[in-house]
Structure 1
Amino acid sequence: MPAEGRERAVTVVIGAVLMFGLLVSALALYQANVVPTENEQTEWDHQNDVEAELVDVRNAIQNTNGGSDARTLSVTLGTSYEPRTFAINPPPAAGRLSAVEADSPITIDGAGALDEIDGANPTSLQTSFLRYEPGYYEYESAPVTTIEHSLVYNEFDDGNVTIADQRLFSRNAVSLTALDGEWSKHGRAAESIDVTQLDGRVQRTIRDRSDLNVTIPTQNPTHWAKTLRDNGVDDYADLTVGSSTVSVDYNDNETDPITLSISRVGVGSNGESTGQLDGISDGSGQYDLVWNKTDVQMDTSGDTEHFEVTVTDGRTGGPAQNTPIDIYASHTGDLSVSADNRTDGSGVATVTVETDDTESGQASLHAAVGISSARSSITVGDGGGAPPSEPTLEVHPVTISDTDSETQFPVDVTVEETNGVATEGLSVGVTVEAPNGTVVYDESMSVAEITGETTTVTFGEDGGTSQLGPFEAGSPYTATVTTDADNANPATVTDTFAVQAASSPAEFDVSDVSTDSTTQTITFNSDAVGNKDEVTIDLSAAQGGVIDYTGATVSVTSGQNVEYVTYDPSTDEIRLSPQGNSGGPLTIEVTGIDVVGDAGQSASIGYSDTLGTSDTDTVTIEQGVPSFESLEATANVDGQLWIWPYTNSVTVDYTIDAPDSVSRVTTTIYDSSGSPIGSRRQTSPASPFTVSLDSSQLESVDVEIALESSAGSRCLQGTVDVGGTITRSDFSECS
């Protein structure tokens, strides 16, 4: 072969070797750089999904409200990676979710009668936390996510970040939920977790605020203290931070009473009722009732026990003197009960219980005043005995408040089976008779069967039954409540109420505003006002703290003509005088307002006229569409092609003015031709984060970030060069 031919052959071989080497190098770079980045993105996305699922678990724990049925939720413990043809993935990542018992109990000091009940002391409640620990391969700084007393937070090596805020302490309420049960799962799949109420919920009104001190155990007392200060709790309570506890000691800076709510909730298995909350009324009625003892043991014959039940006014906290009270017992056999039918001057009624050849079994001692009730438990003999043959039904007393001729209202009916025998075909009905004997409401419904427990049915509520009311003015209306079952005798209670004529001459209505509103409307009925009459709208309660009306303009946009309508900033009043007497709804539009308060704040707006009519309505601030307070995007330099740098990823960092109202944040990266090359979706706002691109980019890329909330959505876009950074001012509204 000529030398020239041999040289050409060598050139081909060298070219092939070089091409193969380049291919191997490219695959090695892909395995070393791209695969870990994309897998880290997958792990990051999974972490966000788990956080959202754990918030759902938190909500289920907080919202459990009676009943024996468990609510089942799902938590995805691990994740798998995107399949690859030429590269290698690690095994799917796994995680662990566990219930961890707290080192110390929740303690309550100063809860009044709660700590005076023999055998029912809820002032010390053992509790647990839920803790999720991921096992990722690439996302090495992934946090541990914890649910503690309603607070959901991430624990990073360098600090903690709140995912869902605490619902434990507020200005006028303390809501304690103790967690019990055993649950620990490790794996990659979605696991089900059951949430069931075990005890309570009971409530107490604490009128002397400075008497109430609550101490909670925590794995992160410093983060809890910061959270409570951020919530403004230190404005009305003193905080004490221990090594593994935080104490909230309410002070007397405020005068309103505190509603203390306590319940126990089970997660997983082995959670059981402790009976700690027996003997306490639920505080939902006009009166609070407390037995002096519960869980009492009595012999089957010749045994006597003396009980006392104390009744206090649910509004003032003072003793309910000389108040009628209904006291009775439920038991599988005969039990002799003698009791006062009224409280004494101290609000106390005495009860004597005697046994005489009484069957062994469980008994309940009930006390009721109006719709408020409390129960004490008694065990006779060994607690056994022949079971009763049929259920016994009772209807708790029902009290319907007087109403007016324009109002619809619901009525809660509580039915109890007291013999421990399951009902069959249980139903509850309500009938209302007008003063002339005409039946104006008659509704009956089938309800879930019960065995030795209560069930509550609401009549006259949207989505349930037909509406109760409005009824014509008159007195007395008679409401009859009946419960029946196929295997039990019916039980009935009645109550009377009056209906007064309604009057709302002004029909005054003020529109609510959102955090980004600039306009507000005010409407009233102008039938009664005419020439020379003047209407005054008082904005002073809202001015400055909720809405700034300075510089606002007012105009009548619908309704009868007016001689004048003006806004006086010196008195914070709108004044107008109708022209003529055509009447009807009249609407004022206030433009150029500045909403300065926070979402949830409210204020009262007043109406008055020269005829002596007055009315008020409340304006409430609703959350508007959230905004990006800060925003930064960087196209990272991930390598070079000869002398030209290229990017495979974009890092985004942002803050939002109302992150709790945001349901989703989506970030999309586009190449210079407008084609999408990478995206990231978050179900709860969190940053900074990195979006991996489908292909390397030598030219600038477009960044689009959009948030979604119940109030609407917002979208921004900007262009960033490779190696460059853009900030909030470089972004514009999406086209």
Structure 2
Amino acid sequence: MSFRHDRRGQSVVVGTVILFGFLILAMATYQVQFVPMENEEIEFEHSQQVEGEFLELRNSLLSASTIGDSRPVSLQLGTRYPPRTFFLNPPPVSGSLSTSDSRELRIENADVTEDGNTESFWTNGPNNDAGNLTFNTSLIRYSANYNEIQGSPNLLYEHSLVVAEFDETALGRSGQSIVRNEQRVVMIPLLDGELSENGIDQQTIDPRTLSASQRTVTLTREDPTEPLEIVLPTSISEDQQLARLTNEWDDRIDNGTASITSNDNIRLTINAESYELRIGKVGVGSEISVEDESNGYIVRIPESGTTIIEVRDRYNNPVTDATVNVYDSTNSVAPEQTLQTDSNGRIRSESGTVFTINGVGADGAGGKDYERIVISPETSEMGGNVSGPKVNNTMISPVNISRGEPFDLTATISSVGQRSLIRSGTPIQAAEIIAEHENGTSYPISITEDPDTTGRVYTLFETVSTDSWEVGEYDLTVRGQDASGRWTDESEVGTASLTITEPTNGEQITEFISVFVSNMVENSNTESQTFTFSLNGDLAEGEEVVINLDDPQDGAGPPGSREIQYNSATVTVDSGTGTAEISAGGPNAEVVYTAGSGGDPGGTQIQITVNSVNTGDIAGEQYDVIFEHPATGTTTSTTFGIASTAGDRSVSGTVNGNLFSTGSLTVAQDGVIEGNAGANGDVTLNLRSEVDGTVTSGGSMTVGQDAVVGGGIDANGDVTLNLRSEVDGTVTSGGSMTVGQDAVVGGGIDVRGDVTMNLRSEVGGTLTSNGAVTLGQNSDVRGDVVAGSDVTVGQQATVQGSVTTDGQVSLGQSSTIGGDVFVDTAGDISCGQSSTINGQACSTYVNENY
């Protein structure tokens, strides 16, 4: 039998080969396309994890340097990919964590305003270099070698700020705690040690407190005409990243600016006249040592009877177990006693006259003057020679109020003395405000503080209620008490005057809630223009609101020849109780609205229409309008523009200059307006469209995917920013606002409704909302959050400033609030896992502050 021509098995073989080929092709496709995608997701999750852990490291470092509460932090340096039986993985991701070389931090134009040894040490001691205060500190850098993610940032810890360093920019990931303008505190967190960790596995970093910040010294300007300046070393050197880092610091400092020095450091310029300086030092890794008295000084703590001596290190903080030699007199050869300081850095003596550290003799030979204290007979009994604290800079605002309205009082209370006038130098523990009516009735207000949390220079800020006070003139007196129990002498109290009058009508007006002026069409002598405004307080019968039209009013030419003329216009009131009049002549024009019977309650929208306005050949021009409530001096402004035609506008391509619409405005996909834009109705920017200037909308505002607004947005209605859209300026809205995934607002937000921020969205300034605020995962607000309702900070989201709300605050896992949280009670704060507030664990912050 022959099988030479039998082909019955060929189809099976061919089919098997083809199937095997498809299998190989499928596996190759999976290896090339899907394995990298899955690995990229694993790398992204690791990058998010390690950023959260790096922020925890930052918080631990700050806690260790400020309150001595050091706790270990684990950081996953790298990551591994899951095993794949038939596919190949790249090598595991490795990461590195290291400290920089020690570099100099400098405070310039600073004069330490203290007395005795404190002044001598800070003027002549190791921290003073040619009149500048200098300290050495290090920085921490983390980097990872990802295989799939391109352009992942390095993470840096620099002077309390966590920075993400990308190839072409640098972005802040936390708040800063160096300059606290509200408390007038400069807090320097120094870092020491050598740390160098590389690999894939989890590493534990255990910060060690080397000098916990417990004391302050007062910094004033050495040259009163120049500001205080802090020069911060940075490990970022590329011009583009350094410029952006400078902006990050600038955004985080109130009442100050940031700039780049000639040798690529960051210079912080702070404008207040005085600050309390606190310094803490923390170490990581090896080559660290706890600060002791060897580079420090010795001071006397005023107290009647027993002499109390405190030993401080070079950073002004108490030294435990420091050796103090006690002598009978300056002629003594051997000490009468040798004592060790307690946990507060202090010793007590009933009989000693001379106290020294670092082996300095009773006569001071071979030592510095600040290493010795001599108790003279005249001051051995401190009771009669130490003055109480002095009160300076007493101010109230406003100085004229209606009965029942509150006012703010500020004053500076200082227990810092001089050589000619000794004060206790202890923290301020109480204050008293006495308001005396012209008829002799007094209204006392007492304030108590924990001296462990206040300094020797204490800024009193009190909002004073006048619900039970009478109408009339008041003289206010402010005095303070230090921790030694001494009150301010009568010759050094603070004084101010206040006038209370009968209220004219309801709630006091302090701001315009909203204003809007409609656009007009060019080349017309019959244009109508609408003016709309509302106030946050009651407009009493007979009270006025003035609308200033000087900027658009053209007094130079005949009607229609140039710009705008209101000379022949008439006015009607569309909503509101009152009447309105318009006056125009020459370069000036204004509309005056006068509230009618019963007045207009706060929040009422008042609308006025001006008819028969003349407009010239001025399409694209834009003008300012000022609204004023003369009775309180409250003002605000807005703008309007001139359209070329009436009705809705739709734009495609490129428009050179401004563009305005009397209806709605739509910018088509990839359309560009190279100027400002505005509409009486809604404004819509579609995919990748762009407006180079500001946008004003009488309705809602929608910014489409990848669209850009180069200026700010002012809308009467809701504002929506879609995926990856960008607004470089400030957003103001009379409605609610949604910030889409990866969208960015370069300035602040001020809206009347709710604000919702989605995944990885950013706001560059303060966010203010009358409603609720929700921050999505990994979103970032670089200023404060002020809300009228609940605030939710999502997982790994960040508020770099403070949060103030009438509702509750909820922090998600690993979320961060860089400043303080102001709510009614502790129960209004909900802490997620690993969440932090002001550099502390959330629960710790709540327990210490509420």
Under a length normalisation based on structure 1, what TM-score does the superposition of the two structures give?
A: 0.50
The separation in 2 between residues aligned to 1:395 and 1:470, in whole angstroms, is 35
Q: What is the letter of the counterpart of residue 180 of structure 1?
A: L
The separation in 2 between residues aligned to 1:228 and 1:617, in whole angstroms, is 35
8 Å contact from structure 2 (residues 70, 207) kept in 1: yes
The separation in 1 between residues aligned to 2:466 and 2:170, in whole angstroms, is 49
Q: How does 1:57-136 map to 2 (within 5 A)?
A: 66-70=66-70, 76-81=76-81, 87-89=87-89, 93-102=93-102, 104-112=103-111, 117-119=123-125, 120-121=127-128, 123-136=133-146
Q: Helix, strand or coil: the match of 1:509? A: coil
Tell me whether 1:301 sits opposite 2:328 in the alignment: yes
8 Å contact from structure 1 (residues 535, 577) kept in 2: yes
Q: CA deviation at 1:131?
A: 0.5
Q: Whose RCO is larger (CA < 8 A, sep 6+)? A: 1
Q: How does 1:372-451 map to 2 (within 5 A)?
A: 397=389, 401=394, 406-407=405-406
Instruction: Go from structure 1 to structure 2 and tell me whether the alpha carbon gap of 1:499 and 1:249 turns closer, same or farther (over 3 Å shift).
Output: closer
Q: How does 1:194-273 map to 2 (within 5 A)?
A: 198-199=212-213, 203-205=219-221, 215-223=231-239, 226-227=243-244, 240-242=261-263, 245-246=264-265, 263-269=278-284, 270=288
Instruction: Go from structure 1 to structure 2 and tell me whether the alpha carbon gap of 1:459 and 1:140 turns closer, same or farther (over 3 Å shift).
Output: closer
Q: How does 1:234-633 map to 2 (within 5 A)?
A: 240-242=261-263, 245-246=264-265, 263-269=278-284, 270=288, 300-303=327-330, 332-334=348-350, 356=353, 397=389, 401=394, 406-407=405-406, 472=469, 491=485, 493=487, 500-503=498-501, 507-511=508-512, 521-523=534-536, 525-527=538-540, 529=542, 535-536=545-546, 560-564=577-581, 574-580=591-597, 582=599, 585=602, 587=604, 589=606, 606-608=628-630, 613-616=631-634, 627=703, 630=706
Q: CA deviation at 1:27?
A: 1.9
The separation in 2 between residues aligned to 1:528 and 1:470, in whole angstroms, is 24
Q: Helix, strand or coil: the match of 2:542? A: coil
The separation in 2 between residues aligned to 1:236 and 1:496, in whole angstroms, is 31
The separation in 2 between residues aligned to 1:164 and 1:522, in whole angstroms, is 38
8 Å contact from structure 2 (residues 576, 607) kept in 1: no
Q: Which residue of 2 aligns with 1:693?
A: none
Q: What is the letter of the counterpart of residue 220 of structure 1?
A: I
Instruction: Go from structure 1 to structure 2 and tell me whether the alpha carbon gap of 1:491 and 1:460 turns closer, same or farther (over 3 Å shift).
Output: same
8 Å contact from structure 2 (residues 759, 777) kept in 1: no
Q: CA deviation at 1:415?
A: 13
Q: Helix, strand or coil: the match of 2:220? A: strand
Q: Which residue of 2 aligns with 1:180?
A: 191
Which of 741, 754, 775 is the equivalent residue of 1:665? 741
The separation in 1 between residues aligned to 2:585 and 2:69, in whole angstroms, is 59
Q: CA deviation at 1:35?
A: 0.9
Q: CA deviation at 1:77?
A: 3.4
Superimposed CA distance per residue, residues 237-276 of structure 1 (whole angstroms, 9 cap, x where no aligned partner): 985533xx447598xxx9x777778654445544856899
The separation in 1 between residues aligned to 2:637 and 2:29, in whole angstroms, is 61
8 Å contact from structure 1 (residues 217, 246) kept in 2: yes
Instruction: Go from structure 1 to structure 2 and tell me whether the alpha carbon gap of 1:248 and 1:443 turns closer, same or farther (over 3 Å shift).
Output: closer
Q: Helix, strand or coil: the match of 1:406? A: coil
The separation in 1 between residues aligned to 2:22 and 2:124, in whole angstroms, is 82
The separation in 1 between residues aligned to 2:55 and 2:186, in whole angstroms, is 17
Q: Helix, strand or coil: the match of 2:741? A: strand
User: More strand by proportion, 1 or 2?
Assistant: 1
Under a length normalisation based on structure 2, what TM-score does the superposition of the two structures give?
A: 0.45
Tell me whether 1:39 sits opposite 2:39 in the alignment: yes
Q: CA deviation at 1:411?
A: 9.1
8 Å contact from structure 2 (residues 298, 372) kept in 1: no
The separation in 1 between residues aligned to 2:161 and 2:223, in whole angstroms, is 27
The separation in 2 between residues aligned to 1:125 and 1:98, in whole angstroms, is 20
**Aligned residue pairs, count:** 527
Q: What is the letter of the counterpart of residue 135 of structure 1?
A: N
Instruction: Go from structure 1 to structure 2 and tell me whether the alpha carbon gap of 1:13 and 1:259 turns closer, same or farther (over 3 Å shift).
Output: farther
Q: Which residue of 2 aligns with 1:683?
A: 760
Superimposed CA distance per residue, residues 13-39 of structure 1 (whole angstroms, 9 cap, x where no aligned partner): 332343234323422332243212321
Superimposed CA distance per residue, residues 149-174 of structure 1 (whole angstroms, 9 cap, x where no aligned partner): 56655556x64444559978999999
The separation in 2 between residues aligned to 1:11 and 1:330, in whole angstroms, is 98
- For structure 2, the 5+ residue unaligned runs are 114-120, 251-255, 300-313, 317-322, 332-344, 360-368, 375-385, 416-427, 520-531, 554-563, 610-624, 639-693, 709-721, 732-737, 744-757, 764-775, 786-790, 793-850
Q: CA deviation at 1:64?
A: 9.8
Q: CA deviation at 1:177?
A: 3.9
The separation in 2 between residues aligned to 1:428 and 1:257, in whole angstroms, is 23
8 Å contact from structure 1 (residues 203, 259) kept in 2: yes
Q: Which residue of 2 aligns with 1:147?
A: 157
8 Å contact from structure 1 (residues 537, 607) kept in 2: no
The separation in 1 between residues aligned to 2:249 and 2:122, in whole angstroms, is 32
Tell me whether 1:26 sits opposite 2:26 in the alignment: yes
The separation in 2 between residues aligned to 1:663 and 1:58, in whole angstroms, is 28
8 Å contact from structure 1 (residues 508, 523) kept in 2: yes
The separation in 2 between residues aligned to 1:8 and 1:591, in whole angstroms, is 95
Q: CA deviation at 1:134?
A: 0.7
Q: Helix, strand or coil: the match of 1:529? A: coil
Q: Helix, strand or coil: the match of 2:124? A: coil
Q: What is the letter of the counterpart of residue 356 of structure 1?
A: T
8 Å contact from structure 1 (residues 512, 619) kept in 2: no
Q: CA deviation at 1:576?
A: 1.3
Name the % identity.
Answer: 19
The separation in 1 between residues aligned to 2:3 and 2:88, in whole angstroms, is 45
Instruction: Go from structure 1 to structure 2 and tell me whether the alpha carbon gap of 1:192 and 1:557 turns closer, same or farther (over 3 Å shift).
Output: farther
Instruction: Go from structure 1 to structure 2 and tell me whether the alpha carbon gap of 1:664 and 1:50 turns closer, same or farther (over 3 Å shift).
Output: farther
Q: Helix, strand or coil: the match of 1:13? A: helix
Which of 638, 656, 661 is the equivalent residue of 2:726? 656
8 Å contact from structure 1 (residues 133, 145) kept in 2: yes
Q: CA deviation at 1:448?
A: 10
Q: Helix, strand or coil: the match of 1:131? A: strand
The separation in 1 between residues aligned to 2:432 and 2:42, in whole angstroms, is 60
Instruction: Go from structure 1 to structure 2 and tell me whether the alpha carbon gap of 1:110 and 1:501 turns closer, same or farther (over 3 Å shift).
Output: closer
Instruction: Go from structure 1 to structure 2 and tell me whether the alpha carbon gap of 1:163 and 1:49 turns closer, same or farther (over 3 Å shift).
Output: farther
8 Å contact from structure 1 (residues 179, 265) kept in 2: yes
Q: Which residue of 1 aligns with 2:8?
A: 8
Instruction: Go from structure 1 to structure 2 and tell me whether the alpha carbon gap of 1:520 and 1:655 turns closer, same or farther (over 3 Å shift).
Output: same
Q: CA deviation at 1:606?
A: 4.3
The separation in 1 between residues aligned to 2:552 and 2:706, in whole angstroms, is 30
- For structure 1, the 5+ residue unaligned runs are 281-292, 305-328, 336-354, 363-375, 382-393, 417-426, 484-489, 544-549, 593-602, 633-651, 668-680, 687-704, 714-735
Instruction: Go from structure 1 to structure 2 and tell me whether the alpha carbon gap of 1:58 and 1:526 turns closer, same or farther (over 3 Å shift).
Output: same
8 Å contact from structure 1 (residues 631, 654) kept in 2: yes
The separation in 2 between residues aligned to 1:551 and 1:193, in whole angstroms, is 73
The separation in 2 between residues aligned to 1:557 and 1:271, in whole angstroms, is 76
